[in-house]
Amino acid sequence: MPRTRGRAPDGKWRADALSREIIVGAAIALLDELGERGLTFRLLAKQLNTGPGALYWHVTNKDELVALAADEVLGHAFTAPPPPEESAGAGLRALAIAVFDALDQHPWAASHVNAPPTLANALRLLDRIGTLVARTGLPAERHFAVSTAISYYITGVSAQIIAPRATAVAATDRDAFLAQTAEHWEKLDPADYPFLTRTTTDLRDHDDRDQFTTGLDLLLDGLNTTANP
Amino acid sequence: MPRTRGRAPDGKWRADALSREIIVGAAIALLDELGERGLTFRLLAKQLNTGPGALYWHVTNKDELVALAADEVLGHAFTAPPPPEESAGAGLRALAIAVFDALDQHPWAASHVNAPPTLANALRLLDRIGTLVARTGLPAERHFAVSTAISYYITGVSAQIIAPRATAVAATDRDAFLAQTAEHWEKLDPADYPFLTRTTTDLRDHDDRDQFTTGLDLLLDGLNTTANP
DNA sequence: ACCTGAACACCGTTCAAGT
DNA sequence: ACCTGAACACCGTTCAAGT
């Protein structure tokens, strides 16, 4: 797993040399355009003017490639510098929303951010959460459990909300899908599903980002009352 | 998509007739044993003494088959009848834990419980959550957002916690994986990762179920203070 | 209506061989 | 050290043909 660009035998840089970063970048482009099933080593190799075998010198296998691509995308959440002095709660909220928005741009990525973190940006995310949690009044022995809980919420709930868009093709399909699901709910027996049958308009009209922040704010409220009882 | 067993031309039941339920049941067994990649239409057909083509009469494709299998597994959370009269919070907590435990037994399933729900048991889960949420003092227009938030937490965070076990083979691997990840964290620069580098023992010793309930309790605390300010 | 199984159009991955 | 591309061992899915 080299971290530098290749060099031709004569010692000069090859303009078209492969590298992990170049491969991951091209993979992200294909994933955005064609989804996870559309990403193929043959196609990726063609885009990079090589054979499929060449990629395996830089990347262990497809699972690793997709994981690297997802971590790269997660890193987009950190482009803005962390705002200086705000409350821990506000910092956690801003961080969570930045992650949601980053993953929202690349729907295939959300379900590939794994826990516990081992890749650079996932590590960074948990560390930032932990540092913010440590700033609350919470006893130290609870920092790990609470920080990972928040981290799990961010990536897990983002994946739940965003993943359907990775299957449905375009953004326009979302409305059609929701309308169809709402119709399905309307046909259910109200005796069996009293809640769903009276909630179909909310389903049609809901906003994904609001869904994410609703649960997030409940979680942070709970953190707040636990830390400052 | 037939819901009944097949019948031979002479009108008698065939003992070996296929059905959606039989196929899903056999698929669950293979998924448990071999994981998602191990489930193959050829292998599944062989187990059921048919050819792969026969399965396509009962099931649209592999995605649908795995989704049906996951929903079936989710249904295990409802085997115990809902305890009669408890507080909404206690009911939600018990329900959430029942879902976690059900998915925990079939690690491949967690990441395939999709939102918004369209299959029977996922619908049932959201309806039960909604009914419990309606029992709190929360204004009606917030019921949908809060219920789905809780539902997303349950399935999304369960998937995050449980999914790694679907890749790692046995339960013994978990300790090895955590130890290896902890070693990785220890080698990080404390200047870059102040939180992670002092939290490695918590990582080694944590319990997955506690992780799940920690965030869940924060969320329910938040719900409680929001509903009864 | 339901099942059969060969065939199609792919995959991920490996590896001897090149430079 | 890095790249090439043919070859291996599979897949999911379709479909004409059977009962």
Domains of chain A: 15-59 (1.10.10.60), 75-227 (1.10.357.10)
Residues A115, A117, A123, A127: is their CA dihedral positive or negative? positive
Cβ atoms within 10 Å, residue A212? 25
pLDDT score at B16: 62
Q: Are A178 and A204 in contact (CB under 8 A)?
A: yes
Q: Which nucleotides of D are covered by protein (CB under 7 A)?
A: 1-7, 10-16, 19
pLDDT digits (tens, 9 = 90+) for B55-96: 999 999 999 999 999 999 999 999 977 777 789 999 999 999
pLDDT of residue B168: 64
Q: How far is B222 from chain A (nearest CA, A)?
A: 4
CA A149 / C1′ D16 distance in Å: 55
* Cβ B61 to strand D below 7 Å: yes
Residue B78 near residue B111 (C-beta atoms within 8 A): no
C-alpha torsion sign, points B45, B50, B51, B53: negative
Tokens of A79: 């482009």
Q: How far is CA A197 from CA A193, A200, B33, B92, B213, in A?
A: 6, 6, 38, 20, 30
Instruction: Using pLDDT thresholds of 50, 70 and 90, give the confidence band for residue B171.
Output: low
- How far apart CA B71 and CA A137 sit, in angstroms, is 41
pLDDT at A87: 92
The chain B residue lying nearest A111, using CA atoms, is: B111
Q: Which residue has the higher pLDDT, B86 or B42?
A: B42
pLDDT band at B2, cuts 50/70/90?
very low
Torsion of CA A174, A178, A180, A181, to 10 degrees: 140
Mean pLDDT value of segment B32-58: 97
Q: In this structure, what token pair is assigned to residue B151?
A: 């539902």
Tell me the Ramachandran region of residue B46: left when phi exceeds 0, alpha when psi lies from -120 to 50, beta otherwise: alpha
Q: Look at the block and give the residue holding tokens 């971290």.
A: A3
Q: Do B203 and A116 touch (CB under 8 A)?
A: yes
Q: Where are the alpha helices (DSSP H) in chain A?
A: 20-38, 41-47, 52-55, 62-74, 88-104, 120-135, 143-152, 158-167, 172-186, 194-197, 200-205, 208-227
Bigger pLDDT: B5 or A92? A92
Per-residue model confidence (pLDDT) at position B7: 39
- Considering only CA atoms, name the residue closest to the C1' of nucleotide D5: A51
Distance of CA A13 to the CA centre of its chain: 35
Measured CA distances, A205 to A164, A221, B8, B118 (Å): 17, 25, 48, 17
In whole angstroms, give the CA distance from residue B229 to residue B225: 5
* Token pair in block for residue B87: 């507080």
Q: Of B84-88, B131-135, B209-213, which range is least confident?
A: B84-88
| Residue with smallest Cα–C1' gap to C15 | A53
> B129 pLDDT band (50/70/90 cuts)?
very high
Quick one: pLDDT at residue A12? 38
A145–B214: do the CB atoms touch at under 8 Å?
Answer: yes
pLDDT attached to residue A85: 73
Nearest neighbour of A225 by CB, restricted to B129, B184, B221? B221
Q: Is any atom of nucleic acid chain D found less than 7 Å from the CB of residue A58?
A: yes
Q: Which nt has its C1' nearest the CA of A63?
A: C12
What residues of chain A lie within 8 A of the CB of B184, using their CB? 118
The total of other beta-carbon atoms located within 10 Å of residue B214's CB is 21
Contacts of A112 (CB under 8 A, 6+ apart): A66, A67, A69, A70
Half-sphere exposure of A183 (CA within 13 A, CB side): 6
What SS3 state is found at B150? helix
Structure tokens at B1: 């998509």
Lookup: nucleotide whose C1' is closest to B56 CA: D13
pLDDT at A227: 85
Q: What is the pLDDT of residue A149?
A: 98
**Preferred mutation among A153, A180, A228 to probe B, highest tally of B CBs within 10 A:** A153
- Least confident piece of the model among A2-16, B14-28, B52-66, B151-165: A2-16
Q: Which of A145-159, B117-131, B162-176 has the lowest mean pLDDT?
A: B162-176
Q: Give the pLDDT score at B10.
A: 38
Mean pLDDT per 10-residue section of chain A, whose length is 229 residues: 36 64 98 96 97 97 98 95 83 97 97 94 98 95 98 98 80 85 96 97 96 98 90
- B53 CA, D13 C1': Å apart: 8
Q: Which helix (H) or strand (E) holds B128?
A: helix B120-135
Cβ atoms within 10 A of the Cβ of A225, count? 14
pLDDT of residue A171: 61
Whether B219 and A222 lie within 8 Å, measured CB to CB? yes
